Structure 1
Amino acid sequence: MEKRKSPLESMVKSDFWLDRPVFVTGATGLLGSWLVKRLLELKAEVVCLVRDWVPQSELVLSKTIERVKIVRGDVRDQKLLERVLGEYEIDTVFHLAAQTIVGIANRNPVSTFETNIQGTWSLLEACRRSPLVKQIVVASSDKAYGEHENLPYTEETPLQGKHPYDVSKACADLIAQTYAYTYGLPVVITRCGNLYGEGDLNWNRVIPGTIRSILKGQRPVIRSDGNYVRDYFYVEDGVSAYLSLAEKLSENKDLAGQAFNFSNEEPISVINLVKLILNLMDSNLEPLILNEATHEIREQYLSSKKAREILNWKPKFSLVEGLTLTINWYKNFLETFDLK
């Protein structure tokens, strides 16, 4: 909500983004909201695709939405996407739109497949027909890898998702590679750890859900047995990853078709993450462990070595630093909207 200077400003080239026409799908989501804010700070010309109006989105709360061009529509609408790319003479595309909740994907696989898979091919086909597009960054996920014994995952780890969300992201990932290798489209792929940060309103995710429960004096709920291990990747580090990747692609076309892992490389179990949040919030509450999670990968975390070496990228926030900023944001947000 309140503006604060980001330490990430030194990691990107402001002159690269100056007046650059940029198209962002999924702009009202967690990463999309923060990416758009940073692009505006870098003085890019931003066009956002918005399907649902989310008044509590960080994009709206920060009034960022008043400074961008908004196109209302669905990412599966290829004709609409072609019109947007052409009329706004888009140079760079960030494709973030997706159904991102694993539980929803398990309950509603078809809608997840339509958004995550069809949405990706619709956008990339529109880009193929739009000669002005020079860089495309497509959001895959660490979940695209599926489950493997050898950890951490590198970009060479096979994509073998088996459950609906994992498969949807693996398919989108492979489709992006297809458009790069078959059609020469300038597309690169991100595979990030579990993003978190200010503005995530998906309360069934462990970090916002835990913070809200503690602020309400309720025991935080853990759906699993608490022993699932993940990376938790702060949203501003995610923004720097996307911007850095687009810039590097403009310099090196040979990156097209490649994927990059992004993580703070601090894997942690769910139970230890919840205990860390309780400690940071000075709470004595005990988590409620439901042990109900199904069709989820047991242990999964990433190596970001390739991004460090090729992109000269590294995270700027530790898990504690990112959680502290996130907790403070939710305190303010929930006092305003939820705890009256």
Structure 2
Amino acid sequence: MKPWIDKNVLITGCSGIIGSWLTKKLVEEGANVVGIMRDHVGNKSIIQKDLLNGIYVAYGDIGDFLFVNRVIAEYEIDTVFHLAAQTIVTIANRSPLSTFESNIKGTWTVLEACRLSPTVERVVVASSDKAYGDSDQLPYRENQPLRGKHPYDVSKSCTDLLAQSYYHTYKLPVVISRLANVYGGGDLNFNRIVPGSIKAVLGDRPPVIRSDGSPLREYLYVEDAVAAYLSLAENLHRPDVMGEAFNFAPNRPYSVIEIVEQIIRLTGKDIVPTILGGNSLGGEIFNQYSDSRKARELLDWQPSWDLAKGLVRTLEWYRRWLKVPDTAE
């Protein structure tokens, strides 16, 4: 079966790492994809892959209700993947208002436009494992309260709760994803640990670890994230899925130092990372990892990429993008 042929799909945040990979997959599956972009940034993956020639692009701000409403109406959107957000924790701490405008106002704008649309049948909203906030109860489970404290975490807690509100109050057909840290080719936010470390190591520079290296995280390869989003949308008609939130993670946390050392090892470089030390991450959650049993049992989803395989594929992408020859060849 080809569930996406001729479906009119809107992707907010189509130029982000997940958005660009999801766009590519849906185009391959025969969907009519409409992407919302705020800024045209020439080095974004979606532009480099020439995906823009295969989709409709609407340039605007997701906080502009009239704009979002017009796009959904004119393209007769069936399915919405709401991925657009300001996703960098350090930027959120430095500029909380712009993060709240994008992540919170942008979410209620999209949800309200979907509620008023006669064509929208499915809405998938991107929350995050950060929505849980700091917790002594690890791994996170979906029935835990959302207790974000810092600006980015709070914005995702609000995103999540807004989506739940639109389901419980208006029966909007919505489902919520809470993904672990996603990595893969196309992520140009180099203050994140994976792309930042890869760029440093491929440039023969020591990667910088802001903490003492001990914080625990889970890392989900981008193609597994895309599979998670498609699984949510394709099962959204089910009563045990609609209105629910789902964790998606590999159920294997790694310390920051383990991730950096794995990247160094895969490149074959003789480099020692610079560790700034200390246990304060300046507004970031220290340890975070999730239980994805619900997604496995209800959606039959499980990651196909382990960390080593995903990092090898990711390194290949950055070598091409940075024009760095593979010395192993």
Aligned length: 322
Q: Is the 8 A contact 1:221 1:289 kept in 2?
A: yes
Partner residue of 2:243 out of 257, 260, 264: 257
CA shift, 1:293, in A, is: 2.5
1:334 corresponds in structure 2 to: 322
Answer with 218-227 or 18-27: which moved more.
Answer: 218-227
> Given residue 282 of structure 1, which amino acid in structure 2 is its aligned partner?
G
| Aligned-pair CA distance for 1:253 | 4.0
* 1:171-206 superposed Cα distances (whole Å, 9 cap, x missing partner): 010000000000010010000000100000001001
Residue 284 of structure 1 and its aligned partner are, at CA, apart by 1.2
Which whole-Å CA distance do the structure 2 matches of 1:55 and 1:170 have between them?
31
* Identity rate, percent: 53
How do 1:132-151 and structure 2 match up within 5 A? Answer: 132-151=119-138
| Deviation per residue, 1:13-62 (Å, 9 max, x gap) | 5x110110000000000000000000001000000001011211111111
Q: Give the aligned partner of residue 236 of structure 1.
A: 223
1:296 paired residue among 267, 284, 308: 284
Matching of residues 1-340 of structure 1 within 5 Å: 15-250=2-237, 252-291=238-277, 293-335=281-323
Letter in 2 for 1:260: F
Secondary structure, aligned partner of 1:24? strand
Query: What TM-score do the two structures reach when normalised by structure 1?
Result: 0.93
What letter matches 1:227 in structure 2? Answer: S
AA of the residue aligned to 2:9: V
Unaligned runs of 5+ in 2: 325-329
Contact 1:186–1:253 (CA under 8 A) maintained in structure 2: no
Gaps of 5+ in 1: 1-12
Q: Distance in 1 between matches of 2:204 and 2:241?
A: 49
Deviation at 1:70, TM superposition (A): 0.4
* Displacement over 4 Å in runs of 4+: none
Q: Which amino acid aligns with 1:331?
A: R
* Structure 2 counterpart of 1:3: none
Partner Cα separation in structure 1 for residue 25 and residue 163 of structure 2: 25
Q: What is the rounded CA distance, in whole Å, between the counterparts of 2:240 and 2:116 in structure 1?
A: 21
Q: Does the 8 A contact of 1:219 with 1:285 survive in 2?
A: yes
Distance 1:253 1:301 in 2: 27
